[in-house]
Structure 1
Amino acid sequence: MGNLNRQIPDVKELVSLMRFKMPSLDRRAARLSSAADIWDLRKIAKRRTPTSAFDYVDGAAGREITASRAREVFDSVELLPRILHGTAHSDLSTTIAGGESALPFGIAPTGFTRFMQSEGEIGGSKAAAKAGIPFSLSTMGTRSIEEVAQAAPEGRKWFQLYLWKDREKSKALVERAAAAGYDTLLVTVDTPVAGQRLRDTRNGMKIPPELTLKTVLDASYRPEWWFNFLTTDSLKFASLSDTSADLPTIINSMFDSSLDFEDLKWIRKLWKGKLFVKGVLTTEDAAKSKAAGADGLVVSNHGGRQLDRAPIAFEALQEVRAEVGDDMEIIMDSGIMSGADIVASLCAGADFVLIGRAYLYGLMAGGEQGVSRAIELLAKEIEVNMQLMGAATIKDLTPDLIRRRK
């Protein structure tokens, strides 16, 4: 301290450093702008969303071993930098399922979306359309095929199908999706029965939700969620019945656990657009899906929400890629929480990635604006990682740019 030559501060210099911002009247925008990554959006979402709704998104099956292992695997992947590579700009655009996407990821199909935030699928589809990426609507969505199509007519839309026991209803859904302009069908095959999602059981979650003293008290200090819930139309699965029941009961009573590859061939005949099989984790199932006429695969363990202790999607990805070759498109799904996760997946052999929880955290944090913020954060992370890795295009993300830390 004795070596410092002190002086009286220069007032003019001090004034020039002062940059006081006026408080914003748009509290949602201010809240979202403070989020630096998806984990920050998750924190905001948890504060603003009732426990049962937040846990429906955040939780997984059983002891949630698969979900936690997926995070460990992603965190163990090293992205290898390339120096002096002359990459001044990275192009994040790509093609998937016969169409263009401005970014190498799209929004995954999620059920009961308006329970998390009242804008639900409409907010998600509009944000996706603005970003130039696909939006996937679930069979268990809370807005209909036609409502989502009308909300974002310029956006690219995919439809996710659970096969019902009533085949005529399944056929009707497929026909409605085609008529409404959905260009890709995702057939989910990893849900013959509902996984044991213990958080939902403990929270007594039912669809539509039942108002109990516990749920009212939990929602009382989330006034925006409560106000939206009371002042918008009733919450239900747009493609299902109006019956109030817990999620496993709905799935087990309506969906077909006897689904086999002959049924997949039947769907292939019905659907003229691109068809992806969602829920593939083994080379055997990948080969059978390809033989049944699938155009592509979604390597996914349902975010750890079905079979706990199932293989980790990222680890299964390379085996599946080796089995089907380079000509078949593969989408990676499950556990994505950052642009680095997306880059790692693309390097490992995926052509495209779907985000589920990451999108829903944004939705819960701020509706359509929150989804746009989630997309923005992921896109920026991808761009920075690609530039540091010397990758000018998505095709430059190859297996030699990653390695697993031992």
Structure 2
Amino acid sequence: MNRRFPRPRDFVPLLKFKRPMLNPTRRRLARALTIDDLRTVAKRRTPKAAFDYTDGSADDEISLARARQAFRDITFHPAILRDVSRVDTSVEVLGRRSALPFGIAPTGFTRMMQTEGERAGATAAEAAGIPFALSTMGTTSIEEVAAAAPHGRNWFQLYMWKDRDRSMALVDRAAQAGFDTLVVTVDVPVAGARLRDTRNGMTIPPTLTPRTVLNAVPRPAWWINFLTTEPLAFASLDSWSGTVADLLDSMFDPTVTFEDLAWITDQWQGKVVVKGVQNVADAVRLAEMEVDAVLLSNHGGRQLDRAPVPFHLLPEVRAAVGDALEVHVDTGIMSGQDIVAALAAGADFTYVGRAYLYGLMAGGRPGVDRSIEILQTQIERTMRLLGVASVGDLQPEHVTQLMRLTPRH
């Protein structure tokens, strides 16, 4: 082999410098390739109490860990030699098309996490063509969300309060604001034991103590945003001064029954989703009541610890209710692969909560856009690798749930 001295022009094609990205937020978001990456950024930029409220769950946090492990414990079964040059990620959910097979779940106290809060979620969902659900415990009013995303598909999540008139006043406001779906949450007779919040002294508004001040020192942007924007306004009440746990326990009604649910649905003219279903019998009963969808959920592990894993329940519920209603699922979803697995196992639709909030805390509205973009990219790639060109082609034979936890008889 003949050797020679390299000439300067030989180096030119080898030296390609990337144009620097001057905006630090966009630079951080561009480097985030997964939802876990966004979580890492969010943890650095958010005070501990607000981050832990998002990140934590109840008691020993076993339910959340099991839900995430359930999605890790799957095997995909790809088909080869299929034309997947184009993939269709859209689905029909509750009578209308969603560009992606997931929506943004209702989350409480969202402006505590990052000051853009629900506005960022609603406008990002509008741009992506997916539903956005506003929580009763949201920190932006129903009317403000409608104004921020006038062309979005906005849903309202309802907790039934002890004050029924006040609860139904919220429902009326949502209807008048053009919200088309009511998500009735039924797994909160009392608040779960969210120990991180108790240990952090989580209050609304944040309590300034020596510890919180010290924790805020390396996170000045969060405090500047919090202190220089309008005070928190709740979707459901004017103000609150106390702990989150006290607020929840003062509101949740442990007397709510199926009869109350029937009464609520009679007052609402749009679609109804019942959120918090955790066994087959309840799903069947709700199908008999002719609600539009059940959402298999253990509240992100934030209520009863060691509750059933929604993803594990999915095939049995699907078989039991057939096509009588839609079956939706949340809890533990952290990737597009998780979403594809849920759809293959029988879900009609999925929801992301923490996955969107990590993006919000990492970078406001651009961070939410990035979280949706990451999930969309992962969904499309997974579908192509499975040899599936549309969501409707996903079938149970595409995925196997590997069970670590089996009941002892």
What TM-score range do you get, normalising by the shorter chain? over 0.9
Residues 1:373 and 2:406 are matched in the alignment: no
What displacement does 1:241 show? 4.5
Match of 1:212 in 2: 209
CA–CA distance in structure 2, aligned partners of residues 16 and 211 of structure 1: 56
Query: Mean Cα displacement is larger for which, 12-21 or 129-138?
Result: 12-21
What displacement does 1:7 show? 4.3
CA–CA distance in structure 1, aligned partners of residues 75 and 370 of structure 2: 26
Describe the SS at the equivalent of 1:63.
coil
Match of 1:251 in 2: 248
Gaps of 5+ in 1: none
CA–CA distance in structure 2, aligned partners of residues 171 and 82 of structure 1: 50
2:118 to 112, 118, 121: 121
Give a deviation string over 1:161-217, Cα, whole Å, max 9, x none.
000111111111111111101111100001110000111111110112111111111
Aligned length: 403
Describe the SS at the equivalent of 1:330.
strand
- Structure 1's 20 and 144: CA in aligned 2 closer, same or farther, altered over 3 A? same
Residues 1:262 and 2:259 are matched in the alignment: yes
Match of 2:174 in 1: 177
Match of 2:136 in 1: 139
Describe the SS at the equivalent of 2:97.
strand
What displacement does 1:5 show? 7.0
Match of 1:88 in 2: 85
Match of 2:294 in 1: 297
CA–CA distance in structure 1, aligned partners of residues 133 and 316 of structure 2: 26
Match of 2:271 in 1: 274
**Do 1:60 and 1:304's aligned partners in 2 also have CA atoms closer than 8 Å?**
yes
**What does 1:36-75 align with in structure 2 at a 5 Å threshold?**
36-75=33-72
Query: Mean Cα displacement is larger for which, 205-214 or 260-269?
Result: 205-214
Match of 1:187 in 2: 184
**What does 1:195-234 align with in structure 2 at a 5 Å threshold?**
195-234=192-231
CA–CA distance in structure 1, aligned partners of residues 393 and 8 of structure 2: 52
Match of 2:406 in 1: none
Describe the SS at the equivalent of 2:332.
coil
**Do 1:94 and 1:102's aligned partners in 2 also have CA atoms closer than 8 Å?**
yes
- Structure 1's 165 and 386: CA in aligned 2 closer, same or farther, altered over 3 A? same
What displacement does 1:80 show? 1.2
Match of 2:335 in 1: 338
2:359 to 358, 362, 366: 362
Give the counterpart letter for 2:90 in structure 1: S
**Do 1:278 and 1:298's aligned partners in 2 also have CA atoms closer than 8 Å?**
yes
Give a deviation string over 1:360-380, Cα, whole Å, max 9, x none.
000000001000000000001
Match of 1:353 in 2: 350
What displacement does 1:15 show? 1.8
**Do 2:329 and 2:350's aligned partners in 1 also have CA atoms closer than 8 Å?**
yes
**Do 1:93 and 1:100's aligned partners in 2 also have CA atoms closer than 8 Å?**
yes
CA–CA distance in structure 2, aligned partners of residues 98 and 367 of structure 1: 31
Describe the SS at the equivalent of 1:216.
helix
What displacement does 1:25 show? 2.2
Give the counterpart letter for 2:361 in structure 1: M
CA–CA distance in structure 2, aligned partners of residues 241 and 310 of structure 1: 33
CA–CA distance in structure 1, aligned partners of residues 91 and 317 of structure 2: 21
Give the counterpart letter for 2:312 in structure 1: E
**Do 1:265 and 1:293's aligned partners in 2 also have CA atoms closer than 8 Å?**
no
What displacement does 1:9 show? 3.0
Residues 1:242 and 2:239 are matched in the alignment: yes
Identity of aligned pairs, percent?
Answer: 58
The CA RMSD measured in Å over matched residues stands at 1.3
**Do 1:158 and 1:183's aligned partners in 2 also have CA atoms closer than 8 Å?**
yes
